[in-house]
A and B are shown apart, each in its own frame.
Chain A
Amino acid sequence: SQPLPGHQATELQSKVVPSKQILHSDNMEMEPETMETKSVTDYFSKLHMGSLVYSCTSKRKNK
């Protein structure tokens, strides 16, 4: 799980200065969101590694 680079709710306003910021500075800088991550290898390793390890070790034993 890793944070994604910060995105800002896109205002259809200035690319630089938010609409509310007329005189005072009101451009808060938020921290990035964190998204939960999954990977096909998480499941792949659980599913297939067992049998792979088994086949390797059994081959070795057979030698």
Chain B
Amino acid sequence: RMEASCLELALEGERLCKAGDCRAGVSFFEAAVQVGTEDLRTLSAIYSQLGNAYFYLHEYAKALEYHHHDLTLARTIGDLLGEAKASGNLGNTLKVLGNFEEAIVCCQRHLDISRELNDKVGEARALYNLGNVYHSKGKNVASAGTHDPGELPDDVKNALEKAANYYEENLTIVTELGDRAAQGRAFGNLGNTHYLLGNFRSAVLAHEQRLLIAKEFGDRSAERRAYSNLGNAYIFLGEFETAAEYYKKTLQLARQLKDRAVEAQACYSLGNTYTLLQDYEKAIDYHLKHLVIAQELHDKIGEGRACWSLGNAYTALGNHDQAIHFAERHLEISREVGDRSGELTARLNLSDLQMVLGLSYSTNNSMMSESHVVENSLNGTRPRVGRRHSMENMELMKLTPEKVQNWN
């Protein structure tokens, strides 16, 4: 019979998704939908799982479509719990798509129904989702500007404070429920919210809790995330040595987990941290490691950034030959990827180096003579990334909050 066939296909889809093969799972679920069923609850479960599979595969438009079908169906058959779940999933998907206002409405619906049904687990999960939506909303608006953590416009601050409140509410419930895994997640995101708000001490406290729980579970990915977030917070507390220790732990775990991109990220963070510590040899060592992986991953933009960092570090050491080599490479890559501001920075760096080395260099390099054209085209606006000289004296200051200003 057709009914059995739809169910069989859906069961196979479930099995495949649980085994981690969402792509194959999706085919079976879609086949099940094609066959069809008169049992609307079964259909709702299929839509929901299709939505989650597409979410997992980062195909958010499809995820949205299926979670929306699920919501409509749940409402039609008067399945309140099903409606709450569909609303939550729709909310998460809308958040990823950047539709924060609708996401809030959906997550709030998830919360309201959970409270109506006296479903504590559902209530906690809805609070976590709401926290995530407000966090993303705040971060999204913040990233449109050029703010550092702690320097925020009011709307960003409001969104982030709401996020922190939702995470706190979630923590109260999951602590009562004794759900350690959920506590770990809430602490991690609460820590990141405090970080964006500029509450770096609170961020450290939350990430320390996250770390503790990650170790309890032997969850090495979560452990690595906690180390990395702790490193970031200590940078902004001006405690660079401590930050370096956490980044080293991140690097160690990244290597164990064989995640090259994360390993590169850790090397880059370490390179920057040793730059802040004015230990340029170590900075170069880590930036070179980052460069190698960026090349291996065909990550041109990362490669350009590594070259820029290396150029700065070699200049700080007075190794002008290497500095010029990397500044030229930075210029080349910036042109290749169409990074205008990178190109301007590279030209300014090269013209600075030209000044240091005298004019002889410019005669055998045509790139140099173009630099004045670029400066004219700026129309008086300064590029975001300053000259190397200013990096030592000013850019570090600008990029780190007031608390750090007495670091040297």
Contact = CB atoms under 8 A, between A and B. Distances in A.
A17 to B, nearest CB: 5
A10 B58 contact: yes
A40 B395 contact: no
Interface string B266-304: 001100110110000000000000100110010101100
Given A16-B297, A43-B39, A4 B11 contact: no
A11 B158 CA distance: 25
B385 interface: yes
B351 interface: no
A43 B184 CA distance: 31
Contacts of B85: 36-38
B58 A36 contact: no
B42 A31 contact: no
Interface stretch (B225-233, B317-325, B355-363): B225-233
A40 B50 CA distance: 12
Given A24-B272, A40-B10, A17 B195 contact: no
Contact of A16 (B52, B88, B222, B290): B290
Contacts of B297: 15-16
**Among A4, A34, A40, A47: residue with most chain B CB under 10 A:** A40
Contact of A15 (B92, B261, B399): B261
B108 interface: no
Given A17-B305, A21-B268, A38-B82, A31 B225 contact: yes
B301 A37 contact: no
A54 to B, nearest CB: 19
A35 interface: yes
A62 interface: no
A20 interface: yes
A23 B189 contact: no
B34 interface: no
A41 B48 contact: no
B407 interface: no
Binding site secondary structure of chain B: helix
Given A25-B231, A34-B125, A13 B301 contact: yes
Given A22-B385, A40-B11, A33 B269 contact: no
Contacts of A16: 261, 264-265, 268, 290, 293-294, 297, 299, 302
Interface in A3-55: 3-7, 9-10, 13-17, 19-44, 47
Contacts of A4: 52, 55-56
B14 interface: yes
A40 B45 contact: yes
B362 to A, nearest CB: 27
Contacts of B315: none
B25 interface: no
A27 B195 contact: no
Contacts of A10: 58
Contacts of A32: 185
B58 A37 contact: no
B400 interface: yes
Contacts of A21: 268
B11 A33 contact: no
B326 interface: no
A1 interface: yes
Contact of A40 (B14, B225, B226): B14
A28 B46 contact: no
Interface of A: 1, 3-7, 9-10, 13-17, 19-44, 47
Cβ-closest 5 pairs across A and B: A36-B85, A29-B225, A14-B301, A14-B302, A43-B41
11 contacts: A16-B297, A16-B299, A22-B399, A23-B396, A30-B189, A36-B89, A37-B52, A38-B44, A39-B45, A43-B41, A47-B41
Interface of B: 7, 10-11, 14, 39, 41-42, 44-46, 48-49, 52, 55-56, 58, 70, 82, 84-86, 88-89, 92, 96, 110, 122, 125, 128-129, 132, 135-136, 143, 148-149, 181-182, 184-186, 188-189, 192, 195-196, 210, 221-222, 224-226, 228-229, 231-232, 235-236, 243, 247, 261, 264-265, 268-269, 272-273, 275-276, 290, 293-294, 297, 299, 301-302, 305, 385, 391, 395-396, 399-400
